[in-house]
Structure 1
Amino acid sequence: MDNTGFSLASLLVVTALGLLVPLIVTRIRAVRIPIVVGEIIAGVVVGKSGFSIIQNSEWLQFLQFFGLAFLMFVSGLEIDFATLKPTKVRKGNRYARFLTMPPVFATFATGLTFVLSYSLSQVLFNLHFIKSPLLFSLILTTFDWLWFF
């Protein structure tokens, strides 16, 4: 599709979704998902991957880049640097003290999750369920399972 046209209907749909999705997601009690995840799902549904209701235009491309920059900014505000400080642990095993440091524990947990997800991806690849085991393992590693429960 060319990007030169201006689609007022597409801009109206995006604006309405930006208003309605947070209201709907906060009302759903059965499955708790973050508002951003709800907006991404709504975007997939109305975008090219779904019903293709939205037509690409220069204004929507601007909103796309602005939204991504805003999302990165808000994510940066959520970082709590106090959690990165080492915690005080009683004297004892030096390996236990080393693993209780948040950056070390996060790296270890991510590495372990990646190894487990890559092994699962290899099994699914051998059964011809997926095409790229590395991509699928990265998706599983970065997926936040806590919002599901």
Structure 2
Amino acid sequence: MGVVAAAATAAIAVGGAGVSSAADAGSLDVQATRISVDGVYRVGFDVQPGTYTTAGAWPGGLLPCAWARTKDLPLGGMATIASGISFGPVTVTIEPGDDGFITTGCRGWSQPGGAGSLDAGSSSGSLDFGSLGTGSLGS
């Protein structure tokens, strides 16, 4: 969990209390349903709630893909709602009540079947012809 904790610590140091925006660096498309680079994203502003998939860590890399869903704390900072570390494919559902999403070491995240998706419309969200989740939102 050190990778996720380090990303959260960096976000607090750079952005102050709460979740800072990574969208200023041009990391998101217009629909805010794809995450292209590592960062800390504000849910509802930088990225929309929904189910997202990634192929996992970068090939040949030594570091895993790490992610965390976060909630702002009343006196500043953030708390982790859920987190994970994986070298392989990952599916995460960002909930409307989440305040932030942190990703580091992961290839791009996208909504299955959405614009720029790794899945060209399958309701199962496959990257390697295996199921990754229960389906896409809005199906």
Query: Which of the five TM-score ranges fits, normalised by the shorter chain?
Result: under 0.3
**More helix as a share of residues:** 1
Q: Which has the higher contact order (CA 8 A, sep 6+)?
A: 2
**More strand as a share of residues:** 2
TM-score by length of 1: 0.25
Q: Which has the larger radius of gyration?
A: 1
